[in-house]
A and B are shown apart, each in its own frame.
Chain A
Amino acid sequence: MFGLDKKDTSLLIVVALLTLLAPFILNPFPSDSAMAQFNAGYPDLMQRFVIFGIFAVGFNILFGLTGYLSFGHAAFLGVGSYSAVWMFKLLSYNIIPAVVLAVIIAGLFSLLIGFISLRRSGIYFSILTLAFAQMSFALAYSVLSNPKFNLTNGETGLQVYADDPQWLHGANMPDVPHLFGLSMRSTYTLELGPWAFDFNTGYYICAIVMMVAFYLAIRIFRSPFGMMLRAVKSNQQRMNYTGLNTRPYTLAAFVISGMYAGLAGGLMAAMDPLAGAERMQWTASGEVVLMTILGGAGTLIGPVLGAGFIKYFENIFSKINDNVLHGWFAFLPDGLEDFVVTIIHPFVGKGWHLTLGLLFMMVVIFLPGGLVEGGQRLAAWVRSKRNKGQDDETTGKTEPAE
């Protein structure tokens, strides 16, 4: 289907099912149970899952295929967000012009940065992109937000005010981001017994965009262009010696992944019309690197899984406070309860970074291919159990990560 082979089609269908059924999958626990703490199926987090999924898929086109490790991708995300909010301020709350402009501006910006940074490879490239991203952050945070020329509104973040022009704003249009009148905020809550499932318009729009983005990524991975990018990763010098100029290919990959980042940034602003400078900071750039490596660099679905994993920790684990812990362990005798809570305390709430760090270490050490490798090993193990005694061909065989 859609010009994909059987394996890729089934992968696309799996992703489609996962995203479309996310409200069910992410809310497995009844909303009044103690386990409801672990439910992740509320609109904001689901939107974040798919938006960061897009961001990571795009990043993977650069990092996974060419091996160029950009440490400044958050800059494109931020530029996308700022462009989108400016569209809201100038035209209307309709998300189409906002997202389109976000992609275009991020593309131009990445063309500029890529043109300069790609003159170097390896660690020098990473440092150059990091430097550009930090420059963008500083510009957005203070330089471009002075009262005389306020492009970014600095620390407060760019937002839409009641006295903004909004030239195309229709009288009966909602005062929140919308798609031809369909508000991004509107949520339908389906209550089935003790379960509650949220179906949010904004989420489904992001989900559809992500499926398209994912499909494009598959096509790029399988195209001759993608093959050329892989060749750059395996031996760029050799390609140069054969008389092939690799720069246009790497630059194209850089711009494509920059546009993916811009798309993610634009969608982020469309879901929540505020663009803060922090999303350009180097920690945000590092986050997408983590997502990609955690999920499996160079694999198609890995970055999406990695993005979901990190966002889940950031939003769910960070909210488990001592009160919640005491609630869980209330059945234990007092002294023991306090003891157990003291043990767990450093790993949840404000300590979520610690838990994430430990898990990241374990993944990198034991599963260098990321979560995808974990899945493959599990599948291979199941298969070998089933085939035990018949043939031992598949045992211990690990698929390469890409």
Chain B
Amino acid sequence: MDFLNGLVTLLNFVVIPATAYGAQLAIGALGVTLVYGILRFSNFAHGDTMAFGTMAVILVTWGLQALGVDLGPVPTALLALPFGILITVGLVLVTDRWVYRFYRVKKVPPVLLVIVSMGVMFVYNGLTRLIIGPDDQRFDDGARFLISARDFKTWSGLDEGLALRTSQAITIVTAVAVVAALFWFLNRTRTGKSMRAFSDNEDLALLSGISPERVVAITWVIVAALACVAGTLYGLDKSFKPFTYFQLLLPIFAAAIVGGLGSPLGAIAGGFVIAYSEVILTYAWKKVLVYWLPESLEPEGLVQLLSTDYKFAVSFAILVIVLLFRPTGLFRGKAL
């Protein structure tokens, strides 16, 4: 019984939150890694693209709510998501046309593109703050829990509850769907294959008649959609605040690099590695250990390895370890 109680606590406080967070990071890192693979630069504006996309979703959600539309137990934001994606795609394509294309045609070194993306980051950040302001926004409606802690306790007769929030369940389901669709697209369709060819060897791809502008445009569309989905899921799960999205840049980049920049599979693995490490290292293990250890060994303190404020330090430490021992990442990305 004690073992089960400990296990449920572990599931409730570590596995479920870390899986949801990992899925959000993975979708974010996929966007970064795709830009890196096709356009060959680290996109610093990705966090703010996510923020902008989420903001679009929030505005549409408010509109829908004002019209009296709702999906019952499921958050209205899911209905607003396609519109949000369309708006984000529009913004990103305009940015590419007005900003990035000029440099692409001139074939400037990648580090200059990074600086350009920094300018784009400022502009997106400013836009988001101008439109919705810098404050916290909650846009989660519908049923809060899929399984609530109390229901679980009465059902199982255990002392510890297991709660699954709707937003967490939606995150995981959406993430699986998005990743499956992306991989089907990259591996099975003609356009997806041309994208991979372009990423592997640009010159050869050009010789075989692949239109670079088309590949780039499709990449941006996918990246914008991924950013919008990742941002909305994160916002549903936690809350929306433009500055937090900017800060997500670090774990997202860490995830992409740990997995191997340019490798979609690596981005997903990296996302979960980062999320699990963050949660495991900042969780106070006392609650689990009281069940699992004999009473004589019961810990006095919280058994928290790091305070939660140091979660960035965790992504950073993992990043450094990977850079030191395996600079190409777990899945042999193209970077070195």
| Same assembly | no
Interface residues of B (CB under 8 A from A): none
